[in-house]
Structure 1
Amino acid sequence: MTPLDTPAAPRDEAPARAPVLTIPADAPFFIVMNAGSGRKQSAETRAILDRELGAAGRRYELRLVDDPADLSATARRAVADAIAQNGVVVGAGGDGTLCAVAAATLGSGCPYAVLPRGTFNYFSRDHGIPADLEASTRLLLTARAYPVQVGVVNGRMFLVNASLGLYPKLLEDREVYKRQFGRSRLIALFSAMATLLRRHRHLRLHIDHDGERREIRTSTLFVGNNRLQLEQIGMKEAPLLEQGLLAAIAPRALGRLAQIALTLRGAAGRLSDADNVVSFTFRRITVTHPGKRRRRVKIATDGEVTWLNMPLEFHVAPEPLFLLKPEPDIAQANRS
């Protein structure tokens, strides 16, 4: 692995550490859930909320979103109501849904919580939030809100990762396979192998970081904000995220078989051993395409794919998200 920069001494100042918030015992919960995962899951969620929160005498509103296009607007209304009533906004779903609800919450000062209902649940797992719905619902009643770091690319927030190049294509193909064969980690891996066997274009990128410009040729640029995910693929930069940094990973231009071998190495948690991977940590970088500064590129943020105009500005958000999570020692024990 080839580092672009030494991560120990970034020039940008780290954001000041925000305080931990204690949630009032009567704070209502405004829960935004993506109903696209199925009515059965929605009904199960409502039943557990009634049982766990109802028994504690806590008020909540479950706002189901049938059309993903309505998710952001629904989340913004939930934030406005939570601010008015001194409540908590809760996202229920996979990492993409959690990110959309968190984006509406960021900067509002309103506490945010999650009920993980996805396949991988990297965000909740990294913060020690139980995958079991009953346990994560009970946590709402006792947890405090800790400041957590989020990343931003051209004004678009991400909790777990952002990427361009081959990785967004992998995500698009994975959704096709999921619709045909169901949601599982095995299906996701099979889909990735099928995508990597096809021809793909390489990117030539300029990366401006701390006053220096580097050029790389790569199949994908991956920016991580999740220690658990980086640990699983074996990146040594994973612990540095707790110092207010993001991590960038870019495999050098490779053929199809070499790309598959590199992917398998990452699945085995040994990506840091690879010589043909560029990686570094940062608080802010600018990414451009030589000669095509205004080029539009496909970007994936927490599994959701969109188009953005270059240059791409990746940075740590200046304000944190106030996340309801277990106390630090318990959260560490729960990470898996």
Structure 2
Amino acid sequence: MARSSPRPSARLQTWFSATDHALFDAVAHSDNPVLDEPMRRLTRSANHSKLWMGVAAALWVFGSRSARRGAVRGMASLAATSLVTNQGAKRLRWRSRPVAGSVPRARIVRTPTSSSMPSGHSASAAAFAVGVAAENRTLGLALAPLAGLVGLSRVATGAHYPGDVAVGFGIGAGIALGLARMHPTDDEDHRPPTPESTRVPVPPRPDGEGVVLVVNPASGGGTGERIIDKVRRSLPAAEIVTIGSGDDVEAILRSAAARADVIAIGGGDGSVATAAAIALDTDTPLAVFPGGTFNHFARDIGCPTIAETVSAIERGTAAYVDVIRLNGSAVIVNTASIGAYPRFVRTRERLEHTIGKPLASVYATLSTVRRERPVRISFNGTTARTSLLFVGNSQYRSGGFAPTQRFTLDDGLLDVRVIDVDHRFATTRILAALAVGRIERSALYHRFEVPEFTVTSLDGQTLVAHDGEVGDYLRTAHFEIVSRSLAVYRPLPVPDDTGGT
């Protein structure tokens, strides 16, 4: 009886295995000193992602604003990839490692006991490089050869076959690109001009007279000191009030506002929200110097750098923006949330002074996803269980539940988003929708643009976080836009004497 020919899938698998082994032999049996000690050192440096943590730390300390964002995104992509690779992909199908002793002794490293496919080192390398590239393409391209060498080192040292490395690269790059779709990068193009109706008539202050700046010199990993140095050089008449970690920031800001024509704050979004509340109470224009980690408000008013805030003060350009009032009192300049984000903030703050904010953010994300319990809420006559309710000041450009950028801060609307998990297989459906970039079309995702919004926790008080701070425990939270109420210095065209710009 004639034997049936192998199925196409079996022939393909045989061809793949033969090719993979042939490529491995070509590298493993090559007599090249470059593949000996350098490859062994490189692969060991990438153990437990130590290499990429070091690169991220260097980008954070010495890099530009986009490089620092790239470091955070790269580590977040790496963390997600490591979880998927080690807890998921390696368990799908067992593949034996290359035979011990198949490479020169000078290259040998300790071979892990886990499945050979995929290569976790390669997946992490690709995830980090692509994550960085999402924020800074030049840096990402510069890191690509290093990521490729890490993959090569896994073959050269006998830890993996080339196919393991290729699959690892694919997984890491795919996860990083998926996260980029879920959490889009900055996009300064096509920003609409600020309407003339929001312009605030303020005089130029070329030397900073009448400006009182409140700043913590230690904020932002040294950014506070840079703010002080720049203001002293460019605005010599400005008064600078420094604060420490144990000071009552609100009391100091109120004292400063009592004698200021312009109240200026150097710090992150939480400090900006405190200063904004006092500026509203005293009807004093606010100047914001970016001194935190993300500086969402400063970026969205067009002041992502110290120099741009200084220029707006010197030239005398300011405009009104919206703020949110929570239950008629607390002022919110960016966002508020219920559900996963408060836990994220608490975990991050607990660790950031020990391991730094970028790594603390990565750990907090993984911890939150694993442990957070949904909150039962009611809104607009609807009952839901949510893992995240997001409320933004003005409409955010990007979709999903992690929006990042606004093109205007004066549209008079709240941007409300709710993830409803009170359905079968809700988590799986949400993850699938996120993976393909279709979360906005999911029946579990709700979005509203309204001037006010009320949500009630049905299981007692729940934590409401806002502007990067932990916030308060509330049973009912009422959010209301106070339209065009806060005067802030921001770059604008300077009107000429004829009324034009």
Q: TM-score, normalised by structure 2?
A: 0.52
Tell me the residue number matched to 1:289.
457
| Equivalent in the alignment of 2:486 | 321
CA distance in 2, matches of 1:256, 1:36: 43
Aligned counterparts of 2:432 and 2:258: Cα–Cα separation in 1: 45
In structure 1, what is the equivalent of residue 75 of structure 2?
Answer: none
Q: Deviations over 1:66-98 (max 9, x none)?
A: 13661111111121111xxxx111111111111
Task: Spell out the pairing of 1:162-241 with structure 2 (5 A cutoff).
Answer: 162-184=336-358, 187-198=360-371, 200-208=372-380, 213-225=381-393, 227=395, 230=398
Larger deviation, residues 172-181 vs 89-98: 172-181
- 1:269/1:239 CA distance change after superposition, 3 Å: farther
Question: Is 1:157 the equivalent of 2:306?
Answer: no
Distance 1:242 1:110, change over 3 A: closer
1:261 aligns to 2:431 (yes or no): yes
8 Å contact 1:168–1:305 — kept in the other structure? yes
Answer whether contact 2:322 2:486 (CA < 8 A) is retained.
yes
Structure whose alpha-carbon radius of gyration is higher: 2
For the residues of structure 2 that align with 1:220 and 1:263, how far apart are their CA atoms? 16
Letter of the structure 1 residue corresponding to residue 303 of structure 2:
I
The one-letter amino acid paired with 2:377 is: L
- Kept in 1, the 8 Å contact 2:264–2:286? The answer is yes
Runs of 5+ unmatched residues, structure 1: 1-16, 330-336
Q: CA-to-partner distance for each residue in 1:126-155, whole Å, 9 max, x for gaps?
A: 111132x23432332114220000111121
Shift of 1:219: 1.4
SS at match of 1:129: coil
Q: Which amino acid aligns with 2:348?
A: R
8 Å contact kept, 2:461–2:474:
yes
Cα distance in 1 for residues equivalent to 2:251 and 2:242 = 12
Kindly indicate whether the alpha-carbon contact (under 8 Å) linking 2:420 and 2:445 is maintained by their aligned counterparts in 1.
Answer: yes
> Could you report, residue by residue, the CA deviation over 1:24-56 in whole angstroms, capped at 9, with x for unpaired residues?
5364111111345278444332221111112xx
1:111 to 280, 285, 291: 285
**CA–CA distance in structure 1, aligned partners of residues 399 and 313 of structure 2:** 27
Q: Which moved more, 1:242-251 or 1:137-146?
A: 137-146
Paired position in structure 2 for 1:334 = none
Equivalent-residue separation in structure 2 for 1:44 and 1:115 (angstroms): 10
Judging changes above 3 Å, is the alpha-carbon distance between structure 1 residues 49 and 238 closer, same or farther for their aligned structure 2 residues?
closer
Counterparts in 2 of 1:188 and 1:269: CA distance versus 1, 3 Å: farther
CA distance in 2, matches of 1:66, 1:140: 25
User: How far apart, in 2, do the equivalents of 1:238 and 1:40 lie?
Assistant: 27
SS at match of 1:167: helix
Q: Secondary structure at the match of 1:105?
A: helix
User: 1:326/1:193 Cα in 2 relative to 1: closer, same or farther (>3 Å)?
Assistant: same
Question: Which of 1 and 2 has higher RCO (CA within 8 Å, sep 6+)?
Answer: 1
Identity level (%): 28
Q: 1:20 aligns with which of 196, 200, 212?
A: 200
Q: Per the alignment, in what secondary structure is the counterpart of residue 139 of structure 1?
A: helix
Provide the C-alpha distance between the structure 2 equivalents of 1:166 and 1:259, rounded to a whole number of angstroms: 18
TM-score with structure 1 setting the length: 0.75
CA distance in 2, matches of 1:298, 1:69: 25
Q: Which of 308-317 and 271-280 deviates more?
A: 271-280
Matched, 1:76 2:250: no
**8 Å contact kept, 1:123–1:226:** no
Instruction: Name the amino acid aligned to 1:65.
Output: I
How far apart, in 1, do the equivalents of 2:368 and 2:396 lie? 24
1:310 alignment partner, one of 464, 475, 500: 475
Q: Which residue of 1 aligns with 2:311?
A: 138
* C-alpha contact 2:379 2:455 (8 A) present in aligned 1: yes
| One-letter code aligned to 1:285 | F
Whether 1:48 and 2:230 are equivalent positions in the alignment is yes
**2:299 alignment partner in structure 1:** 125
Q: Does the 8 Å CA contact 2:268/2:294 hold for their aligned counterparts? A: yes
Shift in CA distance, 141/310, structure 1 to aligned 2, threshold 3 Å? same
Which has the larger displacement, 313-322 or 135-144? 135-144
Return the alpha-carbon distance in structure 1 between the equivalents of residues 400 and 276 of structure 2.
Answer: 24
1:61 is the counterpart of 2:243: no
Q: Is the 8 A contact 2:214 2:243 kept in 1?
A: yes
* Contact 1:94 1:118 (8 Å CA) reproduced: yes
Pair 1:108–1:173, CA change in 2 (3 A): same
Q: Aligned partners of 2:298 and 2:326: how far apart in 1? A: 21
Q: Which amino acid aligns with 2:203?
A: I
* 3-state SS of 2:440 partner: helix
Structure holding more strand per residue: 1
CA distance in 2, matches of 1:297, 1:244: 27
